[in-house]
């Protein structure tokens, strides 16, 4: 959602001296370039309920736009289509006046400071993953997979997630008796699947108390251990390592430590699969809405980030991109969430409902516009001599 941030900051940084009507005209003209109308009658048109929206955009940019949606200041029949059109039109490249100083200060803040230290690792667990297993039980599929499904042959969310889990196991060449480490194991979906179907023992680590509680229940009776622990404090050796949807919480300043730790834990003939969201271009600041409300201290890696961080630690065996599948996954989550809302609304506010939909639809737009990628990297220990053929 980074480009959306730039687009509305472009608008918000316009001179505060211009009148509201002229600013309205400016926004209307810019949105027209993405074929979006204010108060139009098409599914992607912006419906404005509070005329103060434009002033809010002027003052608070992308974050103000998101918060205005949370508060009911505007609506759209298909928010995902609205945001996708904005991203595809690359409106920021057609406007001047970006406040370079403010953006530079934000980038410097996230470049100089380590927001994902071991002492701060628990924050995202408490803010996001611990908000309620009731929500995730209803939004996710039965495997409780909170990452991109694999839709090459699947026609529903559960099949896509099972196919993704099986793809990971096949890429890792799992065999009975192997020991697998799952860094960022979530609710134990991969650990359970690998133990049941591939005969391996698994150690999974999470920084979420609620994830561990439910994961422990799901893997009862299986050779699986779930630990509430930061990856940096792990010890032991493993035949295989997987990290699925966790790398987004590592942070650029910790990439060397992350890959050094994985190499230290992996046997010399081992394989490591990394499943992560990525971007082609390197960004030094998070999207403001996602950082404030969804994944505090998160960071999406660029292709250069991964290339630089893995060199010297691992040999690259395969790099697989199926980011378009995340659009399908997110839209399925949004459908499940909306369907389950009557059962959830007693525990969550209407503001939360709109915030959560904006998150899911905004992320779907990020991948649908092809700004966002979903990468699976298969990395080999540098001392591994066996040949490798990656399945699809």
Separation CA 133–CA 122 (nearest Å): 17
Four-residue CA torsion sign, 110, 116, 120, 121: positive
| Lookup: tokens for 391 | 């399945």
Q: Which residue has the tokens 């530079």?
A: 104
Catalytic residue, from 76, 148, 185, 363: name it.
Answer: 363
Distances (CA, A) of 269 to 117, 274, 377: 30, 17, 17
The CA R_g of the chain, rounded to the nearest whole Å, is 22
Q: Which residue has the tokens 């071991």?
A: 118
DSSP, collapsed to helix, strand or coil, labels residue 310 as: helix
Read off φ and ψ for residue 161, nearest 5 degrees. -75, -40
Both ends of the chain: CA-CA distance in Å? Answer: 28
Q: Are 364 and 330 in contact (CB under 8 A)?
A: yes
Residue 296 CB neighbour total at 10 angstroms: 18
Q: Is residue 363 among the annotated active site residues?
A: yes
Class of residue 51 by CB neighbours under 10 A (exposed 0-12, middle 13-18, buried 19+): exposed
| Lookup: tokens for 86 | 């904005």
User: In 3D, which of 51, 60, 34 has the Cα closest to residue 289?
Assistant: 60
| In the chain, alpha helices (H) | 2-12, 20-32, 53-70, 79-89, 100-112, 122-124, 133-139, 157-171, 189-198, 209-218, 255-265, 288-289, 303-310, 324-344, 350-368
Q: Which residues are catalytic?
A: 363
């Amino acid at each position: 959602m980074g480009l959306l941030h730039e687009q509305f900051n472009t608008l918000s940084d316009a001179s505060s001296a211009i009148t509201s009507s002229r600013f309205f005209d400016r926004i209307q003209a810019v949105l027209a370039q993405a074929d979006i109308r204010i108060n139009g009658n098409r599914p992607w048109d912006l419906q404005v309920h509070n005329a103060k929206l434009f002033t809010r955009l002027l003052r608070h940019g992308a974050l103000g736009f998101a918060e205005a949606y949370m508060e009911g200041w505007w609506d759209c029949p298909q928010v995902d289509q609205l945001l996708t059109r904005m991203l595809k039109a690359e409106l920021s490249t057609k406007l001047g006046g970006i406040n370079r100083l403010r953006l530079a200060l934000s980038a410097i803040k996230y470049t100089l400071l380590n927001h994902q230290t071991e002492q701060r690792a628990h924050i995202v667990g408490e803010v996001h993953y611990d908000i309620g297993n009731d929500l995730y039980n209803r939004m996710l599929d039965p495997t409780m997979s909170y990452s991109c499904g694999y839709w090459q042959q699947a026609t529903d969310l559960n099949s896509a997630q099972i196919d993704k889990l099986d793809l990971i196991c096949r890429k890792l060449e799992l065999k009975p008796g192997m020991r697998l480490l799952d860094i960022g194991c979530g609710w134990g979906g991969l650990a359970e699947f690998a133990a049941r179907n591939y005969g391996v023992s698994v150690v999974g680590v999470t920084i979420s108390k609620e994830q561990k509680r439910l994961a422990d229940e799901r893997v009862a009776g299986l050779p699986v251990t779930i630990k509430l622990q930061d990856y940096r404090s792990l010890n032991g050796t493993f035949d295989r390592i997987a990290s699925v949807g966790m790398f987004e919480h590592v942070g650029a300043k910790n990439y060397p430590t992350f890959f050094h730790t994985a190499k230290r834990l992996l046997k010399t003939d081992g394989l490591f699969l990394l499943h992560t969201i990525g971007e082609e271009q390197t960004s030094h600041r998070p999207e403001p809405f996602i950082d404030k409300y969804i994944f505090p201290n998160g960071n999406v890696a660029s292709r250069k980030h991964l290339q630089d961080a893995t060199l010297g630690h691992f040999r690259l065996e395969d790099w697989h991109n199926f980011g378009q599948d995340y659009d399908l996954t997110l839209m399925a989550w949004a459908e499940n969430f909306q369907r389950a809302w009557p059962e959830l609304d007693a525990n969550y506010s209407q503001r939360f409902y709109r915030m959560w939909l904006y998150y899911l639809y905004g992320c779907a737009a990020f991948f649908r516009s092809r700004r966002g990628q979903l990468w699976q990297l298969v990395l080999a220990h540098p001392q591994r001599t066996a040949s490798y053929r990656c399945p699809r």
